[in-house]
Structure 1
Amino acid sequence: MTFQLDDRFEWFLEQFGEPQNSIAVDNSTLGAYKGVLPNRLLEYWQEYGFCRFKDGLFWIVNPSDYHESMNTWLKGTGVLDLDSFHVIAITGFGSLLLWGKKTGQSWRIDIIDSQLFFKRSDEKRILSEGEDVSLKGFFGVISPENVDLEDIDTDEPIFEQAITKFGPLKENEMFAFEPAPFLGGKQTIKTLSKVDFFIQSEILANMGQREIMDIKSLAKKAFGK
């Protein structure tokens, strides 16, 4: 069947540009995730492959590559008991975006902050309209501004500055602050480094208690209300 671009993913491409460094997805991988992840996601995989956007600001990834890292961060938190999760995308700052079979794109792991962030459950929409609709909704609202970070000294976005300083991210690479913010470091271009994602993830996972956050608790932490 010929791939037909939907308006939500078209909007996503308008925001992030064309895919880069695409890796074709083989039939065995597609078969392994059929019925596990939304059919529409598998169609995106077939059309675009596993790939990066904007020099590594956002990646559509093979969930199996990040399954162990996801489990390491979620182990002992109770989150794994809530749904069946897989990593469907990551950001250039090492955030893992999870897809839940029942709840959709409801959780995110921010490794540089040692935070598990609960956005919201999309269970009602999945039950009434299907998981493909929920998935398209996720791609229809995400933007570069959503996944970039701001320098706390200048209030300016960091990622383009990082690309100028270090060059585009390769597969398995991320930008990280050293030391990490949850260990007392500053979120600024001055403390930024390009590192191996898997090494950094393992190191940070062993350094602190995970903080479980939602929109209300994030606002309270930021503004004290």
Structure 2
Amino acid sequence: MMLSQKAINKVQENLAYIESTYTDFTIGDKPDAAFIAQYRSVLPETLFYIWDKIGFAAFEQGSYHFVNPMDYADILAQCLAGTDLAAVDDFLVVGRNAFGKLAVMGTHTESTLTIDMDYLRIFPSIDRREKDDFITAIEFFTQLNSFNSSRKNNASFIKQLAYCQQQFGPLQSHEVYGLAPHPALGGGEPTIKHRFKTDVIPYLSMVSQLDQFEVMMDIVQYAKSMGVMPE
């Protein structure tokens, strides 16, 4: 399936923005032929177009990574277990920040999730409208823009990130700054003294099984129900 020119233009616009915004941007590994053959009929074509351009890219010393959704499929399934969210769409993890917060998008609908692995919370934005390749291109980069805002404006995020980068060095694609002990195991409020660098998949797999994830209020749906936003 070919991408629409509108979607291609949106991806190129975002890539140009990335190059002008981030001082440290690294093109990552790209899907190999076997991966493409296996998943091309399953994953949105927009993702393959983006990955062909920049792979599973890394930003600002590994503070944010685009990721292979299939590497995170089991983790995501465990995070969603016991919730109704798996019935909404076939969700995909497409990015993560330095502390393991997951950026999740729907395959078929405009629904998105943000999963906080420190507090075991899921922040949903449920929109059951079917999306096209243009909307997929927009959604893919939205979480990266959110990270960019956090690294500039969120004092706690800035402090913890600076500490971790100085103490442990930058992150490779397989690494994350975790918490030990994790708050769900009695670690209390996350602070810089609890941070350590570790392998991302084993760590997030462990965290995903600690307890039931709490689904937070869908702010968009609430605003619509209150008449603040149009349906």
Q: TM-score range by the shorter chain?
A: 0.7 to 0.9
**Mapped contact 1:38–1:131 kept (Cα < 8 A):** yes
Which residue among 58, 65, 73 is the counterpart of 1:59?
A: 65
Measured in 2, the distance between the counterparts of 1:52 and 1:112 equals 21
Q: Which residue of 2 aligns with 1:40?
A: 46
**Which 4+ residue blocks in structure 1 deviate beyond 6 angstroms?**
none
Report the CA distance between 1:184 and its aligned residue: 4.6
Residue-pair matches, total: 211
Corresponding position: 1:210 with 2:213: yes
Q: Which residue of 2 aligns with 1:89?
A: 95
Report the CA distance between 1:93 and its aligned residue: 0.8
When the two chains are superposed, the root-mean-square deviation of aligned CA atoms in Å is: 3.1
Matching residue's letter, 1:202: S
Map 1:19-168; keep pairs closer than 5 Å. 19-20=25-26, 22-104=28-110, 106-121=112-127, 123-124=128-129, 126=131, 130-139=132-141, 142-146=145-149, 148=151, 156-168=158-170
User: In proportion to residue count, which structure has more strand?
Assistant: 1
Measured in 1, the distance between the counterparts of 2:97 and 2:111 equals 14
Corresponding position: 1:179 with 2:181: yes
Which residue among 191, 195, 198 is the counterpart of 1:192?
A: 195
Report the CA distance between 1:28 and its aligned residue: 2.7
Structure 2: stretches of 5+ with no match in the other structure? 3-7, 221-231
Relative to structure 1, the CA distance from residue 99 to residue 12 in structure 2 (aligned partners, 3 Å threshold; closer, same or farther) is: same
Q: Please report the TM-score for the alignment, with normalisation by the length of structure 1.
A: 0.78
Report the CA distance between 1:49 and its aligned residue: 1.4
**Mapped contact 1:173–1:195 kept (Cα < 8 A):** yes
Residue range with higher mean Cα deviation, 102-111 or 162-171? 102-111
Cα deviations by residue, 1:9-60 (Å, 9 ceiling, x for unpaired): 3223433345426213212323333343332321111111123111111111
Structure 1: stretches of 5+ with no match in the other structure? 218-225
Relative to structure 1, the CA distance from residue 197 to residue 147 in structure 2 (aligned partners, 3 Å threshold; closer, same or farther) is: farther
Relative to structure 1, the CA distance from residue 73 to residue 23 in structure 2 (aligned partners, 3 Å threshold; closer, same or farther) is: same
Measured in 2, the distance between the counterparts of 1:10 and 1:35 equals 28
**Mapped contact 1:105–1:138 kept (Cα < 8 A):** no
